[in-house]
Amino acid sequence: MSSNYTITVSVYQTKPDAFFRCVEKTCWHFANGSNWVENKDQHVLTMGGSGTCGSLRFMSEDNSESFIATFGVHNYVRWCDVVTGLKTTDTGVMITPQYYDSSQTARVQARERQSAEYMVKSAQGRQFQIKYTVDEGNNLKCNLIIG
């Protein structure tokens, strides 16, 4: 069994009142690191093993809303999280390491929850959801739904 993991993320936007584009891709360096590629309009995160993650930061076309979606494997189980309410200085480079920083309790708890699904509403009332469609094994798949 390979120790590498991939997470293939399909992005769906369900409301025409705002269009979000991916403006940043970040990776954490644990477990032999990770990297993002795009394949057939999907974002594919490849990780060297359990214990790392990657994040995608999205921004609306008018720059009024942004969020970060993070995907990873912790203790050989997938996990995910969405952070909304970002300030302009809140980048993936800043947020991603917080999942491994014991002083960032909410982020560490999100990683340790090992959720196969997560949903949150932003202050603007927009709903963001991650749902793994393949949530076991080394070739994981999930949908990121922007509502």
pLDDT digits (tens, 9 = 90+) for 10-69: 999 999 999 999 999 999 999 999 999 999 999 999 999 999 999 999 999 998 999 999
The model's pLDDT over 112-123, given as tens digits with 9 standing for 90+, comes to 999 999 999 999
Statement: residue 142 has pLDDT above 80: yes
Residue 92 to residue 69: CA distance in whole angstroms? 9
**Domains of the chain, earliest start first:** 5-146 (2.60.270.20)
This prediction's pTM: 0.96
pLDDT of residue 3: 87
